[in-house]
Structures are given as C-alpha cells and as structure tokens.
Amino acid sequence: MKWNETSIKNYKIVEKLTFVISQRFDTIKYHAWYFFKSLSLKSEKKKFKMFQTKAQKSELFFTTNLVQSGFTDQLFGFKLLYEIGTSLGLEYTYTPLESIRSSIPFSEFGEKESTSTSEKKDINHEKPDSIFNFLGINQSLAQLSKPLQGDEVYNADINLDLLVKNDGSIKTFDQLLKTVNQALLPFIYRNRPTVYCFRASARFYFPFNKLIPKTTESIIDYQKFFQNKLDSTNFKNKNDSCKFNIFLHIRQGDTAVIQTPWNTYIPVWYKFKDKYKQLTRSDELNEAGFISIQDFYSFYITLLENLDANQFATHVYSDGFKKAFLLIYKYSKRKDITQKEINRLKSVQVNYDTDQFSVFRKIPNTKMVIGEELSKMYEYIHDFMKADILITGTQQIMIPKLVASYFHEDEMPLLIILYRNKSLDIDYLGLNEVQGNIIQVNIENYDEIYISNKIRDHLTKKTIKNNSNRLFRYE
C-alpha cells in the first residue's frame, strides 16, 4: 500500500482516537473497580477508626508509581506523595524511581540509540541505568524503606489523578490529606497489612505540591541525597578552582530554529505557527518568543563587561540541534523543503553544533557541553549543583524545576530567565518565597547595570555566608 499525506494524516487521527477511547475505558474500568471495593456494611466512622489503629500498629504502607515523565517532574511528584503518606501515618516501602526519558538516550523515532563503550562506563563507574541512581535518590529511599513482614499483603492501586478532584475546592494540605485518607478507607483488612500504591501524574502533583507547609522538616532532602552519593564517588570536574560559577542552559532540540546555508530559517518549536516551513526574515522568529544562541551570548557578554570576567567559570550546556534536524527530515513537506535542500542540510548537520556555539569560545574559562548523552547529563547535574548564577530561557523549564527541588531559600543561586514577549510562568513550582533570587529579563529591553549589581550583591552575601576569602572587583 502506498501512503500519501492524506492517508498518513487519517491514520494518525484514528490512532489518536483509539488512544483517547482506550484511556476513557481504563478510567471507567478503574472507577467501577473502586466503587465495588467501596461497598461495605461498615460505617465511615468505623473505617476511620480501623485505619488509625492499623496505622499505629505499622500495618499500613505506601509506595509510589509515577508516570514515565522527565525526572524533574518526578522529583516534585515523589516528594508530595511521600509527605502525604507519612502525614497519614503510613510506612514507606521502597519502589525504585525510574525515568526512561532521562536515563536512556532515544532518537526522535523512538528507537534506543546505541551506547558507546565509553558511555557505558559513566563518569562514576556505575551502571548508567537510572538518573535517580546517579542523584543518590534510590539509595537513600531504600534506606528509608520499612520492610514488609509476611506474604499476606493486600496491594491497593490508588490512582490519585482519578480519586482527587483538582477543582479548586482543596486549598490546604490538611484538606488534601483528608481527601486522600477518604480514598484509602475501602482497603482496610483485619488480618493482613495493606500497601497503598500511589499513582499520580503532573496534573495531580503540581497543583497540590505548593500546599506542603514550608515549616515542615521533610526527610526528603534531594540535595543531601546527592551530596551523600557524591561523597562516595570520585567524580572530578574541571574549573573547580575558579572563584564563581555561572551556568547557562541553552535549550535547542525540539525548540530550535535551523538557519540554512541559503539563509532561510526553519523553526521546529510547536509555538511557531509555521513550523517546518522556511522563513525568509529573522524577525519572524520573534513572534513565538524564541531566544537564539546569539541572544544568550549578547546578553552574557554585556554582563561580563560590567563585571570582572576573570572571576568566573562559565559552563554552557545545550542539547544541541540533532533532534531539530531529525524533526525537519521527518515532518517537513516537500512543497516547503525540497529533497535537494534536505541533502544540503544533511551536509552541514555534522558541524552545525560546533559552528553555532563557537561564539562562546571567545570567553575565558568557558566549558561547553553539547549533546544529550547520559554522561553529559550527569556532568550537567554536577555543574548545576555548584552554580552561583544560573541563566536560562523560556524554551525550557528544567532549571526552575531543579532549583525548586534542590535549593533551600538561604543557599539558592541567582536565577536569571531570559524571555521575549512573555515571561516564564513558574508560579506552580512554589518559588514565591525566593522571588528575590529570580530575575526575569526581557531580552529586548533590560538594564544591564541593575542585573550586574544584583549579581554582585548575591555573590557578596554568598561569600560572607560561606566565610570565604574569595574576592571580586566592584566597578
């Protein structure tokens, strides 16, 4: 059968409808199962009493099953589920956290990429099977786990996406606990312990994560977990002797714009209404709020002119343009890009990353890491953790999520977010109390003196706090 564009489009529509119908059927099936389990002659008051009694006897447990999303989302999800479980008096039993997306490189076409010999031996000489292993999270959670006694255990699948409504009625953490507790009551058995498997996705844990009381001393301290793991490894990194570290994350990948050898522009970001089509003017890219590599460089070099560049080690990270090229080859239409032009793109792809990021080589003490290999992600995490200043843009949300997960208010780096047209929405990350350490910068209109002074003030406070002898020059 010969597939044309219309048949491919129809196939995708049918595939999407099939998925939606399947999801709805699973939802109906789950609600029916839960309703059947909820049927009981016991009163709600009696169920609550049984729940409290068994919790006091350490006969109620919980574990987690988070969706296969990026690991930064799962950091939020696990912390919320752990706080819910322990606040209800449940004992935690360990299930390893996994994130396929963040642990194994994949191509755009869903095929696992081959891993080189050097990649298999990652920088810490351990199996690169999970980002959560590298972060020390799985090892720490295993130590927190309460072992189950005996084989007679009832496993209850608690889908919080379906059982807890996010309709604005839950406004406090106590209200959330009461709602979840209500959902657990059907699964209380006299003669055997229950393990509640909390299943949730981002649509549950992001709205409710900010309800966790800030006064709560949480056992889940991701920064401490990582430090404990780091102390047990021989991870070495360049530029450790530099005075201050500035970390730039310049996301490209599926948000990039490819500049062709014939001077047109092909965007792949979903925010462009003309993605996979050739644009003839660079100002057409501004419409989607796109921040280019040159924008990052111009902003950064302007900052350094108002500071002392010799005081800083610069760490530039990006996923590069590989995915952008793959997307163009896969989704562009021949009426927009000819086969001859595709061939020319393939000829420049090999050196494209090097050419596009070459401007940063002019900056002293600069380290560049471009690509999505696992070892590069590990290096990314390490350099992020020791950063004094973070600079990123609106094409990604990973850095703000990591900041929210890993840094306490008194030790947070200064976060600078570049935007065009519209600032990045980070309210749902619970960063309200550290707004003083976050600067959203309109790339088309900003005060470099103000930003430079904010950097000086931040580094001064950090230097005093750390009782360091590090000095930097005031202009």
> In sequence order, which residues have a C-beta less than 8 Å from that of residue 356 and are 6 or more positions away?
293, 321
Q: Please tell me the distance from the alpha carbon of residue 401 to that of residue 390, in angstroms, as a whole number.
A: 12
For the segment 425-446, the average pLDDT, to the nearest whole number, is 90
- What's the domain count of the chain? 2
Q: Is residue 30 part of a domain?
A: no
Which range, 51-65, 154-168, 335-349, is most confident? 335-349
Are 225 and 306 found together in one domain? no
Q: Please tell me the distance from the alpha carbon of residue 369 to that of residue 385, in angstroms, as a whole number.
A: 16
Closest C-alpha to 284, from 257, 255, 245, 313: 257
Q: Is residue 13 part of a domain?
A: no
Are 250 and 274 found together in one domain? yes
Are 221 and 290 found together in one domain? no
Q: Is residue 472 part of a domain?
A: no
For the segment 154-175, the average pLDDT, to the nearest whole number, is 89
For the segment 275-301, the average pLDDT, to the nearest whole number, is 92
For the segment 444-448, the average pLDDT, to the nearest whole number, is 94
CATH number at residue 310: 3.40.50.2000
pLDDT score at 187:
84
The per-residue pLDDT for range 132-147, each reduced to its tens digit, is 999 999 999 999 998 8
> In sequence order, which residues have a C-beta less than 8 Å from that of residue 321 and are 6 or more positions away?
252, 253, 256, 258, 349, 352, 353, 356
Q: Is residue 159 part of a domain?
A: yes
pLDDT score at 16:
60
Structure tokens at 7: 């048949």
Q: Please tell me the distance from the alpha carbon of residue 414 to that of residue 405, in angstroms, as a whole number.
A: 15
Q: Supply the pTM of this predicted model.
A: 0.83
Are 307 and 168 found together in one domain? no
pLDDT at 389 over 90: yes
Are 350 and 454 found together in one domain? yes
Are 326 and 370 found together in one domain? yes
Q: Is residue 237 part of a domain?
A: no
Give buried/exposed letters for 103-137 (b at 16+ CB in 10 A, else e): bebeebeeeeeeeeeeeeebbbeeebebbbbbbbb
pLDDT score at 114:
41
Q: Are 382 and 235 in contact (CB under 8 A)?
A: yes
Q: Please tell me the distance from the alpha carbon of residue 77 to that of residue 222, in angstroms, as a whole number.
A: 13
The per-residue pLDDT for range 350-370, each reduced to its tens digit, is 999 999 999 999 999 999 999
pLDDT at 462 over 60: yes
The per-residue pLDDT for range 27-86, each reduced to its tens digit, is 777 767 676 667 665 676 777 787 888 888 888 999 998 876 788 999 999 999 999 999
Q: Please tell me the distance from the alpha carbon of residue 338 to that of residue 325, in angstroms, as a whole number.
A: 14
Are 97 and 154 found together in one domain? yes
Q: Is residue 2 part of a domain?
A: no
Residue 59 Cα distances to 63, 81, 148, 198, 329, angstroms: 14, 18, 9, 17, 56
Domain that holds residue 88: 40-231
Q: Are 94 and 142 in contact (CB under 8 A)?
A: yes
pLDDT score at 119:
40
pLDDT score at 471:
42
Give the end of a domain, one of 171, 206, 231. Answer: 231
* pLDDT greater at residue 304 or residue 240: 304
Burial class (CB in 10 A: 0-12, 13-18, 19+), 198: buried
Q: Please tell me the distance from the alpha carbon of residue 432 to that of residue 409, in angstroms, as a whole number.
A: 10
The per-residue pLDDT for range 289-332, each reduced to its tens digit, is 999 999 999 999 999 999 988 889 999 999 999 999 999 999 99
* pLDDT greater at residue 233 or residue 46: 46
Are 202 and 123 found together in one domain? yes
Confidence of residue 152 (pLDDT cuts 50, 70, 90): confident
pLDDT score at 260:
96
pLDDT score at 110:
39
**Mean pLDDT over each residue of the chain, to the nearest integer:** 83
For the segment 83-101, the average pLDDT, to the nearest whole number, is 89
Helix (H) or strand (E) holding 368: strand 366-370
Q: Is residue 34 part of a domain?
A: no
Are 227 and 251 found together in one domain? no
Are 205 and 321 found together in one domain? no
Confidence of residue 235 (pLDDT cuts 50, 70, 90): low
Cα-to-chain-centroid distance, residue 216: 23
Amino acid at 251: R
Return the SS3 of 448. Answer: helix
Q: Is residue 260 part of a domain?
A: yes
Are 168 and 97 found together in one domain? yes
Are 211 and 280 found together in one domain? no
Give buried/exposed letters for 380-408 (b at 16+ CB in 10 A, else e): bbbbbbebbbbbbbbbbbbbbbbbbbbbe
